[in-house]
Chains A and B, each alone.
Chain A
Amino acid sequence: MQLPLPLPAQVPLSWYLILSVILFVTGAAGFLLRRNIITVFMCIELMLNAVNLTFIAFSHQLKQVDGNLFAFFVMVVAAAEAAVGLAIILTVFKNRSTLEVDEVSSMKL
């Protein structure tokens, strides 16, 4: 199939890495700039996904399965982290009735 645009037939590895950087920085921006604790948590998941993309890109490049396994472990840890983190969010909301991160800045009630 001939493409109208002058695209390379195969994608360079660096494009995947640059995409990963963009996703990671977007997640970091949301982590720093948003107030809602659930959105902040979702931005953490976005950063984890960006790192997973790097692992799998290098796994493909080095023709070794290890990168895929690291990404697999990251997913498992992210699932465990999501369960505990959402339980913490529920507890915070039960005690303070707010989801704004700035209003839960002190440890004491």
Chain B
Amino acid sequence: MDALLFLVFAAIAVGCAINLVLQTHPISSALSLVGVMGSLAVLYLLLGGEFLAAVQLIVYAGAIMVLFTFVIMLLNAGAEKKPSRKVLSTAVALPLLFTLAGIGAYFAATQTPSADVVKFGAFTAGPLEIGRALFTRYLLPFEVTSVLILIAILGAIVLARKEI
């Protein structure tokens, strides 16, 4: 059952990711990205990351993607007119990217012991565990993050002013 769920949602994630790259209209790409994030949330649940799965759906698939679609609609962004790139650069980039994928997959397959299996329910990181670690060992990064968000708000406001 675990393997079936993994395969179904991994297939959805990869299909949506490839669709994201192939679509010419940004709105289609945004919807594909929502599909990737939703299926990744299910995979997080399979890995025991309950809190992260909820945050993935609320923050990523909710807030960030709404921001993206808002900007796409505000700018009235249409489909790309010109074909994506020159043939030569595509011909150089794709084999290199496939090589990167091959090397990564090779190391992932060989460097992890084959006895390492993901057992559903063997580990859960719910809000209790996350909160306990976040407010003890990771308190300083957590506080620094609040400063980062403040700077991001200020930067966005400054950039969105009229005279720039």
Chain A interface residues toward B at CB < 8 A: 1, 3, 7-30, 32-36, 38-39, 41-43, 45-46, 49, 52-53, 56-57, 59-61, 63, 65-66, 68-69, 71-73, 75-84, 86-91, 93, 95, 99-100
Report how far A86 CA is from B71 CA in the complex, Å: 7
Total contacts A to B, CB within 8 angstroms?
A: 245
Q: Is A90 a contact of B159 with CB atoms below 8 Å?
A: yes
Q: Is A15 a contact of B6 with CB atoms below 8 Å?
A: yes
Number of chain B residues close to chain A: CB under 8 A: 84
Report how far A9 CA is from B4 CA in the complex, Å: 9
Q: Is B134 a contact of A69 with CB atoms below 8 Å?
A: yes
Central interface residue in B17, B40, B89, B105, by most chain A CB within 10 Å: B17
Helix, strand, loop or mixed for chain A's interface?
helix
Contact among B18, B59, B118 with A61 in the assembled complex (CB-CB below 8 Å): B118
Q: What's the least CB distance linking B151 to chain A, in Å?
A: 8
Residues in B neighbouring A21, C-beta threshold 8 A? 101, 104-105, 108
Given A10-B118, A49-B37, A69-B130, A17-B123 contact (CB < 8 Å): no
